[in-house]
Chain A
């Protein structure tokens, strides 16, 4: 599995298809957190919102990189479709972890904050919640499910709006609303942790749907 993640990571790195979502993420973080001196809960909520968009883009780019013959070779080499899908999720998660690190540090450089351990933990939880949700959307809207990327893009935008605006249903919406109004990171840690677990569940469901459709189409 590690070898497979390394291969996918390298292919995406060499393709430079990560550049656009990476620049978008850095740009959004810079715009949303520059000269910010408010509580870090709201700051990291903004960064998590940027992470949602970029994780969808990264996942779709990662899966779209390899055409069917290449993917077939990788599937035969690993022995199963599922392992390749899990490695894809793992690779997207690694990229998102790198973005998460940047998303934790950059607001501290752009604004005026005094971060504590709880703030950093909350920032990590918030970004990972959005990353897991974004990877799930990226999987469902990937080339594995949709041959026509136009349809996939439209669905990705619809799902993005749904998780951002779905009040009381979407873990992303609940978390962002909660963090915008919260002032203490320590108090927000547990509720955000629960939402992170729900987002992980979303990711499992997204992966299962993608796997089922991939096998059906194979």
Chain B
């Protein structure tokens, strides 16, 4: 899909921020760009999104539908969140009603605090970030460019953002994001580009075999002895298998639904005895036991 060849960038006669950057972004890729403050991550993302022209080199085969979330979304407009999204949807070619419906749906998934009719200027940083994220997803993007998208988001929105990234990649789009935290890039990216001294190098990815697609969840009676409420686990979205092992319940859950199932279990007074990520049928990646939880 997108290809950068020998891309370099400098502003005026200043120092070279990027030099000889070769980068290939293919459909379905989830790529992280990491580097220290001021290393040029945002500049690289702006070039990928078509906002900035490279001083040297070329960027080719940029897709038409690009979603872009800037590193800070200083929302001081009086316009309401849903009205802003409706306008952005219209600009992207949606009808007003389709844009409004899609905006509503995205804000609902992101659990925007303050309501859809709150003006942007009244939103907190995290909630403004949710609106910024929603506008990038109004139309399914072929390329989703996210500049530190997790910053300011609460824990529940982290999960939703991960779902958005997975959905975009699953539909054949590509995702490129930056973040300082290694844990985040390792968890979400299939490839990591590191920027240092203006040079960009590919450092492979965290998972040679792909993201854990299933989660095995072991639930037990809490040590306090309080009896948990029985739940029809098979009826929950994403639960592909449920089995009893003594007093424990073992669930196999699709990764994207694991947070919701875990929340349901905790709300029904179950205790988490184990949590194992798996790829298909084989155990992989992480195994978190009670002590770690």
**B204 sits at the interface (CB 8 A):** no
By size class, the interface of chain A is 20 to 34
- State the Cβ distance, A1 to closest chain B Cβ, in Å: 9
Contact of A197 with B by CB under 8 A? no
Q: Is B88 an interface residue (CB 8 A)?
A: yes
Chain B proximity of A136: nearest CB distance (Å): 24
- Closest A-chain residue to B62, C-beta based? A79
Contact of B77 among A15, A68, A75 (CB under 8 A): A15
- Tell me if B52 is interfacial: C-beta within 8 Å of chain A: yes
Residues of chain A within 8 A of B91, CB atoms compared: 3-4, 7, 74, 77-78
Is A6 a contact partner of B132 (Cβ separation < 8 A)?
no
Q: Which of B51, B71, B87 contacts A3 (CB 8 A)?
A: B87
A186 at the interface (CB under 8 A from B): no
Determine if B90 and A3 form an interchain contact, defined as CB atoms under 8 angstroms apart: yes
Selected contact of A11 from candidates B53, B77, B132, CB within 8 Å: B77
Q: Does B78 contact A (CB under 8 A)?
A: yes
Shortest Cβ distance from residue A92 to the other chain B in the assembled complex, whole angstroms: 18
Residue of B nearest to A217 (CB): B11
With A and B bound together, what is the CA distance between A84 and B31 in angstroms? 29
Chain B residues closer than 8 Å to A77, beta-carbon distance: 88, 91-92, 135
Given A3-B87, A72-B68, A79-B64, A14:B46 Cβ within 8 A? no
Q: Are B87 and A73 in contact (CB under 8 A)?
A: no
* Shortest Cβ distance from residue B8 to the other chain A in the assembled complex, whole angstroms: 15
Complex contact B73–A218 (CB within 8 A)? no
At the interface, yes or no: B272 with Cβ under 8 Å from chain A?
Answer: no
Task: Report the minimum CB–CB distance from A117 to chain B (whole Å).
Answer: 37
B99 and chain A: residue at smallest CB distance:
A3
Q: Chain B residues with Cβ under 8 A from A79's Cβ?
A: 50, 64, 66
The docked-state distance in angstroms from the alpha carbon of A195 to that of B94 is 40
| B68-90 at interface with A (beta carbon < 8 Å) | 68, 70-74, 77-79, 83, 87-88, 90
Q: Please, how many residues of chain B have a CB less than 8 angstroms from a CB on the other chain?
A: 29
CA distance A91 to B138 in the complex (A): 24
> In chain A between 46 and 70, which residues have their CB closer than 8 angstroms to a CB of chain B?
65, 67-70
Could you tell me if B135 and A73 are in contact, using CB atoms closer than 8 angstroms? yes
Q: Annotate B1-44 by CB proximity to A: 1 below 8 A, 0 otherwise.
A: 00000000001000000000000000000000000000000000
B277 at the interface (CB under 8 A from A): no
**Across the two chains, which residue of chain B brings its CB closest to A1?**
B91
Does chain A have a CB within 8 A of B49?
Answer: yes
The chain B residue with its CB closest to the CB of A8 is B87
- CB-CB under 8 A for A73 and B92, given A14-B79, A15-B77, A15-B78: no
Query: Whole-angstrom distance between the alpha carbons of A67 and B132 in the complex?
Result: 14
B51, closest chain A residue (CB): A72
Please, which residues of chain B bring their CB within 8 A of the CB of A14?
77-79
Q: CB < 8 Å: which of B53, B67, B72, B74 contacts A76?
A: B67
Contact A72 B70 (CB under 8 A): yes
Tell me the smallest distance from the CB of B143 to a CB of chain A, in Å. 10
List B108-141 residues whose CB lies under 8 Å from chain A: 132, 135-136
Do B90 and A76 have beta carbons less than 8 Å apart? no
Closest Cβ neighbor of A218 among chain B residues: B52
Across the two chains, which residue of chain A brings its CB closest to B65?
Answer: A79
Residues of chain B within 8 A (CB-CB) of A75 are 50-51
Q: Please measure, in the bound complex, the distance between the C-alpha atom of A72 and the C-alpha atom of B132, giving whole angstroms.
A: 11
Q: From residue B33, how far is it (CB to closest CB) to chain A in Å? A: 17
**A5 nearest CB neighbor, chain B only:** B91
CA separation between A213 and B266, bound complex, in Å? 57
Complex interface residues of chain A between 83 and 138 (CB less than 8 A to chain B) = none
A72 to B53 alpha-carbon distance, docked (Å)? 13
Task: Show the binding face of A for B, using Cβ within 8 Å.
Answer: 3-4, 6-7, 10-11, 14-15, 65, 67-70, 72-80, 215, 217-218
Other than A10-B87, A217-B11, A218-B52, give 14 A-B pairs with Cβ distance below 8 A.
A10-B79, A11-B77, A15-B77, A72-B49, A72-B51, A72-B70, A73-B132, A76-B49, A76-B145, A79-B64, A79-B66, A80-B50, A218-B46, A218-B53
Q: Return 17 A-B CB contacts under 8 Å, by A number.
A: A3-B91, A6-B87, A7-B88, A7-B90, A7-B91, A11-B79, A15-B78, A70-B73, A73-B136, A74-B91, A76-B50, A76-B68, A77-B91, A77-B92, A78-B91, A79-B66, A80-B50
Kindly list the 9 A-B residue pairs having the minimum CB-CB distance in the complex, ordered from nearest. A3-B90, A69-B70, A7-B87, A76-B68, A14-B78, A218-B52, A3-B91, A77-B91, A72-B51
Using a CB–CB distance below 8 Å, which chain B residues touch chain A? 11, 46, 49-53, 64, 66-68, 70-74, 77-79, 83, 87-88, 90-92, 132, 135-136, 145
